[in-house]
Every structure is written in structure tokens, then in C-alpha cells.
Structure 1
Amino acid sequence: MSRTNKMLSALLVSVLALGAAGSSFAETQWQKTHPRRTEVNDRLANQNRRIHQEVREGEMSKQKAAQLHKEDRQIRQEERDMASQNGGHITKQEQRTLNQQENGVSRQIGQ
């Protein structure tokens, strides 16, 4: 084997090893799209659209929108933290907790 071929082979083995190691830590598609996680994240996306619409229509200040976006980001982070502790999904109680938090933000939109 030439020196170039040996280097390419070593590089290929390294890339494959890193890819295998990285995939073992990554969430599977099922975990990312678990029904309870999907519902929570769909609500957050909907609230994001509603906030942007309120700002566009002049019914909400940019400062209020920033505060609501911050609350939504905290809820999304909490959802991710919960999922990481439960094998990529959230429990029904965790979903209820997150929905209650989302309800609080939702009530602030359109006031």
C-alpha cells in the first residue's frame, strides 16, 4: 500500500469511528418526534407565530414579544431536559406541566 492510500484508509477509519460514536449519542427520529414532545413543540411553534403576528399588526411591543419568546425558550429547554432524562421522551405528567406553562404564555398573547 502506498503512503497516500494508508493515509486515506486511516482517515476513513477515523471518520467512520467518529460517526458511529456521534450517532450513539444522537436522539433517534422516533425520540425527536415522540407524540408528547411533538405536541409541546408544535404549541411552542404556534405561539411563536402568534407573537410575531401580534408585533406585525402593532398589537404587541417588541419588548413584550422578547419577554414571551424568552419564556417559550425556557419551556423548550425544559422539554429537552426532561426528554434527556427519560430516554428521549416526556411523561404524561411532564407534558401536563409544560402545557400549563404554555397556557400561561398563551394567555399573555393578544391581551
Structure 2
Amino acid sequence: MSVQRNTEARLSTEDERTDVDASRYPQILELSRQDLAALVKRLREQRDRAQTISRQQQREMRGKAEARGAAPSRDNLGTIQKAQVLAQAIKRANKEWPGTTNPHM
């Protein structure tokens, strides 16, 4: 499921938003192979962090883990959506990786 850009902006930090925007056409075509590899690495780290936070929030909601904040999480929809946004950006960046069947390269 695709997420609108205004929702992405609301869910993401400035660094995450910059990386997600860099994974879009035409900016991604301007990246060198090294820059593309660094972008994918950063996106994966950000996605993994969002997934870890989401799992912790799920455990808090079920009562299986102590609250990491002042109160236990009541939902984790925003964190799940953030992980989806980052996963979509990774998918776009992986499509542009040299050596794949890509008409742009």
C-alpha cells in the first residue's frame, strides 16, 4: 500500500525524509554507485530501527514488556507506517542498483 507524501512528511524525521526523497526519480539517477550503496544502507538502518520500536510497542500493548516511556504504548500505527515508507524507499533504491535489469543504467 502506498503512503502519500504528506503522511510520509508527518511520520519521518528530517534525515529520513531526505533519504526517502533521494530514493525517488529523478534524484536517484544522479547518485553514484557509492552514494546509492550508502543510501540503501542508511534506509535499511532506519527501517530496522522503526521495526524494532514497533515490536517493542506491540509488546507493551500486550503487557509483555515494561513501558519504555512514561506510559505504555496504546498503538503503533505510526511506527508501522514509517517502516512501510522506508521499505518502499529501499525497494525503489534496489531497483536502481547497477547490474539489475534496469533501462536507466
Whichever structure has more helix as a proportion of its residues is 1
Larger radius of gyration between Structure 1 and Structure 2: 1
What is the TM-score of this pair, normalised by structure 2? 0.37
